Amino acid sequence: MRRYVVPLALVVLLAVVPKLAIDVPVLFADGLNTPGTLQLLALMLVFAGVAFTYDLLFGYTGLLSFGHALYFAVGVYLAAIAMTKWHWGFWPSVFLTAALGLVLPLLVGAVSLRVGGIAFAMVTLAFAQAGSVLAFKNPGRLTGGEDGFGVDYTKLPSGLVGILNTKNLYWLALAYAVGVFLVGRGAVNSSPGHVWQAIRENELRVQVLGLRTFDFKLMSFVLASFLATIGGIVYLTLISGASPSVTTPDFTLALLVMVVIGGAGARWGAMLGGVVYTYLDHRLGDVAGSHAVSTLPSVLRTPIQQPTFILGLVFILVVYFAPGGLARLSRIGRRPLALEEIEA
Amino acid sequence: MTGLLRVENLHVRLGGSHVLQGVSFEVAEGSVTALLGRNGVGKTTTLRALLGLVPREGRVVLDGVDVSGEATHRIVRRGVGYVPEDRDVFAGLTVAENLQLAVRNGHARYADVYRLFPELEQRAAQAAGTLSGGQQQMVAIARALLNDNRILLVDEPTKGLAPLLVAEVASALERVCAQSTVLLVEQNLAVVRRVAEHVVVLDTGHVVHSGPAHALLDDRERVHALLGVS
Amino acid sequence: MSTVILLAITGFGLGAMYFLVASGLSLIYGLMGVLNFAHGAFLTVGAYATWYAETKLGGLPVVPRFLVAALVGLVAGGVFAALVELVLIRPLYSRHIEQVLVTVGLALCVSALVTAIWGTDPRFVALPSWTQRTTGVLGASIPNDRWIEIAAAACVLAGLNLFLRRTRYGLIVRAGVENRAMVTALGIDVRRAFTLVFAVGGVAAALAGVLAALYFGTVDPQRGTSLLIYAFIVVVIGGLGSIRGTAVAALAVALVQQFANFYASAGIGDLSVVLLLALVLLARPGGLTAAAAA
C-alpha cells in the first residue's frame, strides 16, 4: 500500500495545478494556472503518455520500431479529417479513429513482425514513411499537405474549446497520461507482459519454451500503437490542428530520445523523458530569445538557439554516462549497463 | 614447474548461466594437453575465454605475462594460434586470401604448411566457401601454423568429419603436436589417445581431474563416470 | 522515347547519389554492426564545407573554385567521419544499441547546428556553367550534371572494389563483414579498419553532398536526412555489407522513383520505393544479396 502513496500524491498534486496561482520563476514564463503554462504542462503530459507507449515496444519488448509516429499521426489526422472534412461529430470521429488505431497496427504488425532486428526497424520505417508521403501529398485535399490544416472547432466538445477551457484540456491530458500508465503497467505486470520482457532478453529461449513469440510481439505492438493513437486524438484537441511534422521519422526519433533519456523499460522512466524533452523543446526556445543568452558570445549563443542541438547533446551525454536514463541515475559511477542488460 | 599457459580461477557468465565457476589448470611448454568433458560443459567457452572472446574474470598468464585484461588481437599477437570449433574460414575469400589474412609478420611458413596440406596450394584461388568440410579444416589448421606460435588452441578439429577425413586430420594433428605446445578440445577419444600427453577434465564449471593422458584413458570406469562415454 | 531517356539518365544520376551514401552505410553496418544515423550528417558537413569554401574563394574563376571547394568538402567529410568514429563510436566497443543512439544524437546536433548558423533556407552554390547546360541524347536533353554524378559514382564503385579486393585493409574489411570475432582471433586490430571504413564512408557521403549541390544547385540542412532515409532503404534492399548489392539496389530504387513519380503522380514514386522495401524484406529478410554477417 505504501508504494502507492507517492504516485497518488503526485497525481493529486498535478490535478490541482490549474487552481494554483503560483509563479515559478525561470522554469515557467507565467503563473501555473495561466493558459500558457497549462498548455505547456498539458503537452508535457501527453508526450509522457506517448513516450510510455513507445517504451512498451522498445523498452519492455525490445522491438526497435522507427515507425511509431504513424499511429500517433493516425490519431491526429483521422480525427481531424473526420470532423473537419467529413463533418462528423466528435464522438463518432473518436470511435472511428480508435477503431483504426486497433486495426492498422494489427495489419501492419502482422506483416512487419515477420522479420526481426534491423529488418523490422526498416519495415516499420517504410510504413511510416508511406504515411508521411501521403500526408504531404494531400490526396483528395484531405490532409492539407505541407501546411496541414486547422480542425473545425465547432465539432469539438464545448468544454475543450477556448482559452478559458485550457484547464479542461490539461485535465484531459493528465487523464490520458495516468490512463496510459495504468494500462501500460497493468499490461507489463501481466503474464503476457512478462513474456514481452523475456522476449526482450532472449527471444530464442522463449521460443524454445514453446511460446509463439509472434503473437506476443503483435499484442505489444497493437497495444502500444493503439494507446499512441489515442494520444494523437488528445494532442489534436490540444493544438487544434494537424500538421505533417508528426508523421516524420524525426518524430519517432524524438520518442526514442525521450525514452532513452528517461530510462528505457524503467517504471516511470519514459514518462519522465517525455516530460523533460517536451519541456526543454519548448522552453529552450524561449530561453534562447532571452536577454541573458543574447549577451553570450555567438559561439555559445548560436547552438543554444536551436533546442534540438541541446537535446541532441543531452541525449549523447545520457547514452554515454547514464545509459539507464534519468530514472536510474543512482547507477552513475558504477559500470554502465548495456541496454540489453537493463531490467525493468 | 610453471606452465607456458596458466589459468587461475576463470569465471565466465553467459546468457544468465554461470558456465565456468573457477577453472584452473596449466599447460606445460612443449606438451599436448587435452581438455575433456561432456557436451556443453564449457570446453569451447574456456578456449574463447582464454582469447578474450567472451567476458571473463580470473587470471590468464601466458609465457609469464598476465594477459587477463588484454584485447583478443593483442593476446593472439603474443603467439597464439587458434583453430575454432566450426572452422570459421571466411567463405567469401579464397584459400590464399584466408591464409594471407592470418600472416602476422614477414616470414610466414608457407613451405611447411603446403608440405602438410598440398591440396591448399592447388586450391589457392578457390573460394573457401566451396571447400568440403575436411578442406576447410585444413585451412583452419594451416592458418594457425603459418606463424611462429607459442601455443595452439585447437577446438574439436575432427568434429563433423567423415571417418576417412578424421584419420587424415588426426595424422596432420599428430605431426603438428609433435612440434608445438597444444591445448586441444576433442570429443573423439581415439584422437586424444594418439596425441595427448596430459588431460584436464571439466564438469559443472570446475576442473575435476588433471593428470597424464594414458592413466585416465586406460581407466574405463573413470572415463565413463567423467565423460559419459566408454 | 526522349522522356524515357531523360527519366532513365536522371534516375542513374539520383541512383549515383543514393549509392554514394548507401555504400558507406553498408560497409559500416556490415563490418561494425552499427546503423549509422549520422551518415546524413557527413553529407551535410561535406555539402556545407563545399559551399563555405566556395564563398571564401571568390577571386577564382568558377571551375577551379568549384573543384577546390569540392575537395575541401570531401576532406571535411572524411575527417569528420573519422573523428566521430574515434571519439564517439570506438569508446562504446560492442554496445551496438548505444552506438546507434549516439549517431541519432549526433545527427540531431549537426542538423540543428547547421540550421542555427546558416538558417533553414537553401544556399546557392556557384556551379561551372557547363553543368547547367544540356546535351542531346537520342532526342532527350540531358542536364550535364547527370554525367558527372554517374561518372563519380562509377569511379567510387571501381575504387571501392579495388580497395576491397587488392589491399590488406580491404581484405580485413571483407573478412570482418563475415566474421569480426575471427578476424581479431587472427591477431588483427579491427578497430583501425573501423575508423578507415567510417572515413571512407564519410568521404563518399560528402561526395554525395557535393553532387547533390550540383544536382539541386543549393545546399540545405534537410537534404542529408531525406537522402539518408532512401539510402537506408537501398542498403537494406541490397544486402548489408555488399557493395555490389548496394549498387544494384541504388539504381533500382532511383529508377522506380523517377518513373513512378512521372507516370503516376508525384509522391507515388516514393510510396513505391517504400512498398518495394517492405516486399523485399518480407521475401528475403537478409536483403537481395543476403551478405550480412551473423
- Nearest by CB to C278, from A123, A256, A311: name it: A123
Count of beta carbons in the 10 Å neighbourhood of residue A88: 18
Question: CA nearest C291 in B: which residue?
Answer: B92
Give chain C positions within 8 Å (CB) of A59: none
Mean pLDDT of B50-78: 91
Chains touching chain C through at least 3 C-beta pairs below 8 angstroms are A, B
Question: CA nearest C169 in B: which residue?
Answer: B101
Mean pLDDT of A245-274: 89
Question: CA nearest A117 in C: which residue?
Answer: C285
- Residue C57: its pLDDT value, please? 84
Chains touching chain A through at least 3 C-beta pairs below 8 angstroms are B, C
Question: CA nearest B103 in C: which residue?
Answer: C186
3-state SS assignment for residue A288 = helix
> What's the count of helices (H) and strands (E) in chain B, helices before strands?
10, 10
Give the gap in angstroms from C-alpha A315 to the nearest C-alpha of chain C.
6
- Nearest by CB to A127, from C102, C232, C278: name it: C278
Kindly report, residue by residue over B139-162, the tens digit of the pLDDT: 999 999 898 888 999 999 988 888
Mean pLDDT of B7-17: 87
Give chain B positions within 8 Å (CB) of A205: 15
* Model confidence at B182: pLDDT above 60: yes
3-state SS assignment for residue A61 = coil
Q: What is the mean pLDDT of chain A?
A: 85
- Residue C289: its pLDDT value, please? 60
- The rounded distance, in Å, linking the Cα atoms of B121 and B132 is 15
C112 touches chain A (CB under 8 A): yes
- The rounded distance, in Å, linking the Cα atoms of A215 and A110 is 9
* Model confidence at B99: pLDDT above 50: yes
Give chain B positions within 8 Å (CB) of A203: none
Instruction: Write out residues in chain C with pLDDT < 70, as ranges.
Output: 286-294
Residues 254-293 of C with CB under 8 A from B: 291
Q: What is the mean pLDDT of chain B?
A: 89
- Residue A330: its pLDDT value, please? 66
Give chain C positions within 8 Å (CB) of B73: 184, 186-190
CB distance B167 to B173 below 8 Å: no
- Over pLDDT 90: what percentage of chain B? 46
Sketch the domain layout of chain C as residue ranges. 2-283
- The rounded distance, in Å, linking the Cα atoms of B72 and A153 is 65
3-state SS assignment for residue A20 = coil
Contacts 24+ apart (CB under 8 A), C88-97: C88/A316, C89/C32, C89/C34, C89/C194, C89/C198, C90/C191, C90/C194, C90/C195, C91/A320, C92/A320, C95/A323, C95/A338, C95/A339, C96/C33, C96/C34, C97/A64, C97/A338, C97/A339, C97/A340
- Quote the cell numbers at residue B94: 579464397
Strand partners of residue B94: B127
Give chain B positions within 8 Å (CB) of C182: 84, 88, 90
* A70: confidence class by pLDDT, cuts 50, 70, 90: very high
Chains touching chain B through at least 3 C-beta pairs below 8 angstroms are A, C
Judged by CB atoms closer than 8 Å, whether chains meet at C184 and B72 is answered as: yes
* Model confidence at A341: pLDDT above 60: no
Enclosing H/E stretch for A302: helix A298-304
Enclosing H/E stretch for B57: strand B57-62
Give chain C positions within 8 Å (CB) of A339: 95, 97-98
pLDDT top residue among A291 and B81: B81
* A335: confidence class by pLDDT, cuts 50, 70, 90: very low
Distances, alpha carbon A258 to alpha carbons B114, B185, C195, C203, in Å: 59, 49, 30, 32
Mean pLDDT of B68-72: 90
Give the gap in angstroms from C-alpha C255 to the nearest C-alpha of chain A.
18
- Nearest by CB to A126, from C105, C112, C233: name it: C233
* A272: confidence class by pLDDT, cuts 50, 70, 90: very high
* Model confidence at A344: pLDDT above 50: no
Kindly report, residue by residue over A107-117, the tens digit of the pLDDT: 999 888 988 77
Q: With 0-12 CB in 10 A as exposed, 13-18 as middle and 19+ as buried, what is A152?
A: middle
- Residue A300: its pLDDT value, please? 74
* B2: confidence class by pLDDT, cuts 50, 70, 90: low
Give the gap in angstroms from C-alpha A143 to the nearest C-alpha of chain B.
49
Give chain A positions within 8 Å (CB) of C249: none
Nearest to A127 by CA among A103, A111, A147: A111
Question: CA nearest A202 in B: which residue?
Answer: B15
- Quote the cell numbers at residue B152: 595452439
Residues 146-185 of B with CB under 8 A from C: 147
C169 touches chain B (CB under 8 A): no
- Over pLDDT 70: what percentage of chain C? 97
Give the gap in angstroms from C-alpha C177 to the nearest C-alpha of chain B.
10
Q: What ipTM was predicted for this assembly?
A: 0.90
C225 touches chain A (CB under 8 A): yes
* Model confidence at B230: pLDDT above 60: no
Judged by CB atoms closer than 8 Å, whether chains meet at C179 and B88 is answered as: yes
Enclosing H/E stretch for B60: strand B57-62
* A249: confidence class by pLDDT, cuts 50, 70, 90: confident
* A334: confidence class by pLDDT, cuts 50, 70, 90: very low
Among A16-30, A175-189, B79-93, C195-209, the least confident range: A16-30
Pick the CATH number of B1-79+151-230 from 3.20.20.10, 3.40.50.150, 3.30.420.40, 3.40.50.300: 3.40.50.300
> Residue B11 — left, alpha, or beta (φ > 0 → left; ψ -120 to 50 → alpha)?
beta
Judged by CB atoms closer than 8 Å, whether chains meet at C104 and A256 is answered as: yes
Per CB distance under 8 Å, which residues of A are interface residues toward B? 202, 205
DSSP characters over B156-225: -TTTT--HHHHHHHHHHHHHHHHHSEEEEE-S-HHHHHHH-SEEEEEETTEEEEEEEHHHHHT-HHHHHH
Mean pLDDT of A316-343: 66
Sketch the domain layout of chain B as residue ranges. 1-79+151-230, 86-149
C175 touches chain B (CB under 8 A): yes
Record the pTM.
0.85
- The rounded distance, in Å, linking the Cα atoms of B192 and B203 is 18
- Quote the cell numbers at residue B74: 593483442
Give chain A positions within 8 Å (CB) of C22: none
- DSSP classification of residue C135: E
Domains of chain A: 36-341 (1.10.3470)
A with C: how many residue pairs have Cβ under 8 Å apart? 120
Judged by CB atoms closer than 8 Å, whether chains meet at A133 and C274 is answered as: yes
Q: CB-based contacts of C234: which residues, under 8 Å, 6+ apart?
A: C18, C19, C22, C246, C249, C250, C253
* Model confidence at B43: pLDDT above 80: yes
- Nearest by CB to A133, from C112, C232, C267: name it: C267
Give the gap in angstroms from C-alpha C156 to the nearest C-alpha of chain A.
26
Question: CA nearest A303 in C: which residue?
Answer: C113
Among A22-26, B26-30, C150-154, the least confident range: A22-26
Give the gap in angstroms from C-alpha A201 to the nearest C-alpha of chain B.
9
- Over pLDDT 90: what percentage of chain A? 34
Q: What is the CATH number of domain C2-283?
A: 1.10.3470
Q: With 0-12 CB in 10 A as exposed, 13-18 as middle and 19+ as buried, what is A27?
A: exposed
Judged by CB atoms closer than 8 Å, whether chains meet at B77 and C187 is answered as: yes
- Over pLDDT 70: what percentage of chain A? 93
Among A115-119, B83-87, B164-168, C214-218, the least confident range: A115-119
* Model confidence at A103: pLDDT above 90: yes
Q: With 0-12 CB in 10 A as exposed, 13-18 as middle and 19+ as buried, what is A333?
A: exposed
Give chain B positions within 8 Å (CB) of C172: 101
Judged by CB atoms closer than 8 Å, whether chains meet at C285 and A127 is answered as: no
C158 touches chain B (CB under 8 A): no
